[in-house]
Chain A
Amino acid sequence: MLSMAVFLPLIGSILSGLFPKFLGKKGVVWVPSILCVFSFIISTFLFHDAISGESYEFHIFNWIQSSSINISWSLKLDVLSGIMLFIVSLVSSIIHIYSIGYMSHDPGQARFFSYLSLFTFSMLILVSSSNFVQLFLGWEGVGLCSYLLIGFWYKKNEANNAAIKAFIVNRIGDLGLILGICAIYKTFGSLVYSEVFFRAYSFAPVDILILGQPIPVLELIGFMLFIGAMGKSAQLGLHTWLADAMEGPTPVSALIHAATMVTAGVFLVVRCSPIYEYTTYALGFITIIGALTAIFAASIAITQNDIKKIIAYSTCSQLGYMFFACGVSAYSAGIFHLMTHAFFKALLFLGAGSVIHALSEQNIKNMGGLSKHLPFTCIAMWIGCLALAGIPPFAGFFSKDIILEAAWSSHTLLGSISFYLGIVTAFLTAFYSWRIIFLVFHVSTKNNYEGVRESPMTMLVPIGLLSFGAIFSGWLGLDLVDTTKDFWVDSITVIARHGTLQYTHHVPLLIKLLPTIIAVSGIALAWIIYVKFPKLATIFSIKLRLLYVISYNKYWFDEIYEKYICDPIKSLGKFLWEKGDIQIIDKFGPDGISNFCINFASRLRKLQSGYVYHYAFSMFFGLIIFISWHFLVFLGVY
């Protein structure tokens, strides 16, 4: 069962990737989609099994064995992997179906579906792995698929650059992850989850020396794993690739860069909760990075004009929420938000995709009044934004609320800071969401939209399905964060003094209501600025010039990286090549030696002049030296 759920998408990928002629024009899109839906159906059963308390590991065959490294290809089912299997296969199936419509005119359909299914497979491997190395395989696999799909339209130079950027920024994180894996092996002598997590607590007091400083070994592991998570989940510093990744087709943005792959970092942290629970600084670091990313990305989103980039920064910001939930030990709240976010963010992207499909335009400044032409899309976007902003009773309300309450009730300095940052972010979130809604759908423009029609059914049905998810998943998923029920069995570890979720029941009413009040005022502000007094937007952008420019230019992260990291690396490479290899090693090495031999030999040759008087002179000269030396010895000078 489990292996079928995981491997069906791989079969789909291979079929449509390598045998497109055999499958025919319809087959290349439908076969992978149907296999993916099958995988979803099986995953649903598996999820059901998992929450009824079943958990097992399925061994396929050995992979890497060396010394005490004993890695096998194996799949693991527990509640955490069950819920991830469910979310991933569900969203993947929906995106597959949506893509049938969206990509119908693209000549590279077979390739597209092959990549998409390969991605689904990698993601399923990632979440169902039972050891760190197979997790790394899925991790790199999704990175590869992301690279392939961002660069899907390979004729576009921007797409290729964005693809490379995504892969390399992810690789920087991956280095952290792989060093974390090395550290786990050095500490525990094993890379299998069950063996590592079982003994994690006993290593809590163990220190190792780094540059003579004692560092708790679990803190070190925690930091390094989180660097991997930061890369994949586009957290502050390693976030620059996510906005550029929007060069890919929109279904890709929905599936990979919103709903599934970018949440892999959150999954990793939650999976490693038995390690993180015994750390202080690593958890604190996660909290603060999460909270900073949340507000930082939201502050960029409010001034962007590309509809997909706004949603991309919004994703970045929501991932920040998930991380600071994990940072205050509310792992289940993180996964809860991951789930609701998967629905409403995929919905927003698909809605945006529907708009782009209809208009072939991504700049929201050039849109307006589309609610008449795209009524269905408009409603879907409203639902998505309501969920994103956390308005009750939509999905985002439940999950965001519980995260903020958990942050509040952690009663630590970082927890409180992240609570306030989270509240401000909630305000910004509501603001930029309705900026999209008003500018795209409601404010009327002079543009002529005759002939703009809704997308085909294969696109609208998935949007409808996701709308359901965006409305109900929060309410249905409340069990996830209910501390009285043992939902997670033992797939998440929370030690007693970190039980922030239990204290959320004692949060004052004002704190409970604050996120909603803030969200509503954000919407109101957006309404005032963009609908009531449209001139305000320009006035604000002039009055607050500095803030506007900073936000609009995304804090110049790209430019700084380009100037202070990429360029120096390139010039260093050139320097080492031209100066190091050619001017130094070759000049003094092989070329130097051969030149020396030639020079020396040619000078030596001049001695053989052939004139008798030269030879006689040198003989005479040598004789003098020889005799005088003998005299000196004879006289006892030496």
Chain B
Amino acid sequence: MTNWPILSLMIFIPFFGAIIISLIGGDPKTVSSNSKIVALWTSLVVLILSIFSWITMPTDGEFYFLEELDLISSIGLSYRLGVDGISLVFILLSTFLVPLCILASWKSITFRVREYMILFLILETLLIGTFCALDLILFYIFFESLLIPMFLIIGIWGGPRRVYAAFKFFLYTLGGSVLFLIAIIVMANVSETFDIRILLNANIPETLQLWLWPAFFVSFAIKTPMWPFHTWLPDAHVEAPTAGSVILAGVLLKVGGYGFIRFSIPMLPYASEYYSLLVYVLSVIAIIYTSLVALMQNDMKKLIAYSSVAHMGYVTLGLFTFKQEGMDGAMTQMISHGIVSAALFLCVGVLYDRKNSRLISDYGGLVLRMPKYALVFMIFLLSSIGLPGTSGFVGEFLILISAYQINEFLALFSGVGIILGACYMLWLYKRVILGSINKKIGDISDIDIREFFIFLPLVVLVLWIGIYPESFISEYRESISNLINSLNERIVIQ
């Protein structure tokens, strides 16, 4: 079975699913229920395929499941796919979250259900494509196309200020990608190939690297998002429907981190080292600044959105330490954050579905009515504040250790985020879940069986990564160690 084009299957199955949904006929009610079912099953098949590739792929840091097909040979563009440990975990994260998103939208999306499901499946296609592409142009196409379904999901099914948020999101990310396009064309010109595997070890002249790096950086920093490119995120999250927030925080933000680890660092090693101080400063600012801002939010989604920026600050910090610990930590932090922030947005979604409000002041004392919900929320909260034994700890710990080796004060300042994280999260929990019951709530039911099955796999993963992270770290350990070796060789030569 390993001879099958498994990556192409994963990319195109959701696409075919989308086509099938568009062909469903009948009265509106059957259309909507059938399209939900088709979407769910399609995404589950992709999930199974991705788990299969996870199990079968060796963990020696090479690229596997390679596929190659010349598209336009005159410019060297070809359909080139392949994954290593780094990209595989992101694919897993996407294929894992999409079925949950579809389940989470089961009742909360009430109009244009068919279109919604089509967009989600297309989004999945594009996400998987982004992570498997081994051709620079192909990557760029997938990477940029991601914007379209996300823009539509926010713009059509979003909240009252959805148009502003969708445009802000679109303009921000598009602004970054224009520079990125120019940079990859220049880079491909110099090294005469679009093949990412060759570019990973390319020797691009130093002065050129210094020019190309900022162009890459702006594009990925906006996606990540790093301070000060983060202001689109709170708006986009607040206005997006729950599942939109989930996929946005869970996977789309990771595209930025993936960009750093796959493109900026290996392709432009000299410049990455040259600009690393800038990244440290921005990361630390992101951690402290956005934690402080998160503290004062009165909208739950905004609070979690700001906390995402802080958590992604750890990721960029870890990546640019160029140490095994830091990069392992950054990868683990990205997976953990993908799961935890997705789960926290789902938690907010549960409340929003019931009471149509995301304001903290509209809730209080929920534990009395929703004890199960309170427990689930608590587990994700603990992971978010990095309690040992949950997924959040492993990444943060490795990143801090790595940062300390660079500079003591770097670790000290980024460590402040650990304290502030506890502040805003516990305060949120106190105001929403604890205390005496808020009269505005009225009747509210605890999580039902569908929601239980959404949360269960997330809880399992949070604890799994917290207790035995080895099953994930071993996937990308060798890839990262190859990357670091290659960096050291090239920097010494130059």
Contacts and interface: CB of A to CB of B under 8 A. Distances in A.
Interface residues of B, number: 55
A577 B296 contact: yes
Interface stretch (A168-176, A372-380, A484-492): A168-176
B422 A167 contact: yes
B325 interface: yes
30 contacts: A63-B469, A64-B394, A65-B470, A66-B328, A66-B477, A69-B398, A136-B388, A140-B387, A141-B387, A144-B382, A160-B434, A160-B435, A161-B430, A164-B423, A164-B427, A164-B430, A168-B419, A168-B426, A171-B422, A175-B415, A175-B416, A178-B397, A178-B400, A179-B408, A183-B408, A570-B295, A573-B292, A590-B168, A590-B232, A594-B171
B288 to A, nearest CB: 9
Interface string A584-619: 011001100110000000000000000000000000
A569 interface: yes
Contact of B418 (A163, A174, A581): A174
- Which A-B residue pairs are the 6 nearest by beta carbons? A182-B404, A137-B388, A573-B292, A67-B324, A573-B296, A66-B328
B231 A581 contact: yes
Nearest to A208: B408
Contact of B473 (A66, A572, A576, A577): A66
A157 B295 CA distance: 19
Contact of A64 (B368, B398, B404): B398
Given A154-B435, A185-B404, A62 B470 contact: yes
A182 B400 contact: yes
Interface in B427-471: 427, 430, 434-436, 467-470
B178 interface: no
Contacts of A136: 388
Given A160-B430, A160-B434, A590-B171, A572 B292 contact: yes
A171 B418 contact: yes
A66 B329 contact: yes
Interface in B217-269: 228, 231-232, 234
Contacts of A589: 228, 231
A577 B292 CA distance: 8
Nearest to B302: A577
Contact of A133 (B231, B295, B397, B415): B397
B405 interface: yes
Interface in A144-164: 144, 147, 151, 154-155, 157, 160-161, 163-164
Contacts of A577: 292-293, 296-297
Nearest to B417: A175
B341 to A, nearest CB: 19
Contacts of A586: 231
B389 interface: yes
Most buried by B among A61, A133, A137, A171: A171
B47 to A, nearest CB: 27
A574 interface: yes
B188 interface: no
A127 B389 CA distance: 17
A210 B411 CA distance: 13
A133 B388 contact: yes
B202 interface: no
A141 B386 CA distance: 11
B401 A182 contact: yes
Interface of B: 168, 171-172, 228, 231-232, 234, 289, 292-297, 323-325, 328-329, 365, 367-368, 382, 387-389, 394, 397-398, 400-401, 403-405, 408, 411-412, 415-416, 418-419, 422-423, 426-427, 430, 434-436, 467-470, 473, 477
A580 interface: yes
A186 interface: yes
A227 B168 CA distance: 45
B282 to A, nearest CB: 13
Most buried by B among A141, A147, A178, A586: A178
A155 B365 contact: yes
Interface string A218-245: 0000000000000000000000000000
Contact of A155 (B231, B234, B435): B435
Contact of A585 (B231, B328, B394, B404): B231
Contact of B467 (A63, A154, A164, A574): A63
B388 A569 contact: no
Contacts of B292: 569, 572-573, 576-577
A186 B405 contact: yes
B388 to A, nearest CB: 4
Contacts of A581: 231, 234, 293
B468 A63 contact: yes
Most buried by A among B292, B323, B329, B411: B292
Contacts of B171: 590, 593-594
A403 to B, nearest CB: 33
A183 B415 CA distance: 13
A69 B389 contact: no
Given A66-B324, A589-B228, 15 more contacts: A62-B470, A64-B397, A65-B477, A69-B401, A73-B467, A141-B387, A151-B434, A161-B430, A178-B397, A182-B400, A182-B404, A185-B404, A186-B405, A577-B296, A590-B172
A14 B387 CA distance: 18
Interface string A38-68: 0000000000000000000000011111110
A174 B400 CA distance: 13
A594 B163 CA distance: 14
Contact of A175 (B323, B398, B418, B469): B418
A65 B332 CA distance: 12
Contact of B415 (A154, A160, A164, A179): A179
A296 B458 CA distance: 47
Nearest to B426: A164
A503 B202 CA distance: 69
B423 to A, nearest CB: 6
Contacts of B404: 179, 182-183, 185-186
